[in-house]
Structure 1
Amino acid sequence: MAQWFKYSLCVITLISIFGYAFGIKCWDCRSSNDPKCADPFDNSSMPITDCKQEKGLAHLPGIKAQMCRKIRQKVNGVWRYFRGCAYLGEVGIQGDERFCLMRTGTYNIFIEYCTCNSKDGCNSSFSFTPMPVLLMFMVCTNFMKVLL
């Protein structure tokens, strides 16, 4: 009975990992439409979007959104924020999703581009949370050793 329970727990863990790996939900807003989209972020009136339901982009055929993004942009001293699903980019450069790509340009322009996929709604803030998939994998591996 104990082995059946462990086996069931391992299967449930694997199912949750696959669901986690192939779909993510991201906050979707623009600060020009709703000031709550800016930092500090207030998601009380924001929709969360299932990225696997996104239609895709015409200029990127076959590429699905698999990450969340947050863009912080300063143009002529005015901050703008954009949050949504991301199609391209690197997740957590050096394994830390708080690390963002920053660019400055002429005419007083600054852009910070952050992508993440650690959890649903990860584009809300910069708090680092370790990937739960690794933990689930380790637990499942230990259960499999016991079963074999």
Structure 2
Amino acid sequence: MLTKTSVTGVLLTLFLFFKFGSSIFCYDCNSAFDPRCGERFDPFSLGVVNCSLKDPPEHIEPVEPTFCRIIKMEIYGNVRIVRQCGYLKEESEEHTCRKQTGNGEVFVTYCTCDTDLCNGAPKIHKNMALILAVSLIYYSQNIL
């Protein structure tokens, strides 16, 4: 027999672990404007974007975003991190990181991934979602 608690738990689990349609959700921020987006990433109250609802950049043809991206730029000792939706993959890109160097003191690292909110701190977010789901199920069982 299904109880209200078990139905709530199943729905919460489905919500947390399955993607919504074909869209991907990514963090969308720039450490130049928000320090929480930087190397000490703090997702609390940062923008999460449903990438399928966001317009692609003007310099590319309209295309559905299918991945998240983190770009870390180190320019003359200053670090900037940009987290955003990804629209065009390079053929050799397989959800990994790629490093490029410029003229001496310019270093750029591009990382891509294809799961919701993966351009944050992935292990922490997945563990927190699991802890939240278990806590809510436990809490709802104790109330009823």
Identity, % of aligned positions: 31
Question: 1:40: Cα distance to partner?
Answer: 2.1
Runs of 4+ in 1 over 3 A off after TM superposition: 16-20, 90-94
Question: 1:102: Cα distance to partner?
Answer: 0.4
Q: Secondary structure at the match of 1:32?
A: coil
| Per-residue CA distance 1:32-67 (angstroms, 9 max, x = gap) | 111110112100130100000011223222312111
In 1, the alpha carbon distance for the partners of 2:92 and 2:121 equals 13
More helix by share: 1
- 2:27 maps to 27
1:125 to 117, 121, 128: 121
Alignment size in residue pairs = 109
Q: Secondary structure at the match of 2:58?
A: coil
In 2, the alpha carbon distance for the partners of 1:73 and 1:52 equals 26
Q: Secondary structure at the match of 1:122?
A: coil
In 2, the alpha carbon distance for the partners of 1:125 and 1:30 equals 15
| Per-residue CA distance 1:62-106 (angstroms, 9 max, x = gap) | 312111110000000011000010111259956xx4x30100110
Q: Which runs of 5+ in 2 are unaligned?
A: 1-13, 127-144
- 1:136 maps to none
Letter in 2 for 1:43: P
Q: Judging changes above 3 Å, is the alpha-carbon distance between structure 1 residues 92 and 122 closer, same or farther for their aligned structure 2 residues?
A: farther
Q: TM-score, normalised by structure 1?
A: 0.64
Please say if 1:56 is aligned against 2:56: yes
Q: Judging changes above 3 Å, is the alpha-carbon distance between structure 1 residues 37 and 18 closer, same or farther for their aligned structure 2 residues?
A: closer
CA root-mean-square deviation: 2.7
